[in-house]
Amino acid sequence: MALNKVEICGVNTAKLPLLKNEDKDALFKRIKQGDQEARETYIKGNLRLVLSVIKRFSNSNENVDDLFQIGCIGLIKAIDNFDDTLNVKFSTYAVPMIIGEIRRYLRDNNSIRVSRSLRDIAYKAIYAKENLMKTSLKEPTIEDIEKEIGVPKEEIVHALDAIQSPVSLYDPVYSEGGDTLYVMDQISDKKNKEDNWVEDISLGEAMKKLSERQNYIIQLRFFQGKTQMEVAEEIGISQAQVSRLEKNALRCMKNYLV
Mean pLDDT lowest for which of 67-76, 106-115, 228-237, 242-251? 106-115
Whether the Cβ atoms of residue 175 and residue 164 lie closer than 8 Å to each other: no
5-34 pLDDT, tens digit per residue, is 555 656 666 677 777 877 888 888 888 888
Q: What is the mean pLDDT of the chain?
A: 76
223 vs 216: CA distance, rounded Å: 10
* Mean predicted confidence (pLDDT) in 225-254: 84
Given a cut of 80, whether residue 75 has pLDDT beyond it is yes
The model's pLDDT over 150-198, given as tens digits with 9 standing for 90+, comes to 999 888 888 887 766 555 555 565 555 555 565 555 555 544 444 443 4
pLDDT tens for 85-142 read: 777 788 888 888 888 888 888 876 654 555 677 778 888 888 888 888 878 878 888 8
For 80, other C-beta atoms within 10 Å of its C-beta total 10
Contact 128, 121 (CB under 8 A): no
The SS3 call for residue 144 is helix
CA end-to-end span of the chain = 46
Q: What is the pLDDT of residue 256?
A: 64
Using CA atoms, how far apart are residues 197 and 201, in angstroms rounded to an integer? 7
The most distant pair of C-alpha atoms in the chain lies apart, rounded to whole Å, by: 59
In the chain, DSSP finds a helix count (H) and a strand count (E) of 12, 4
β-partners of residue 174 are 181
pTM above 0.85, yes or no: no
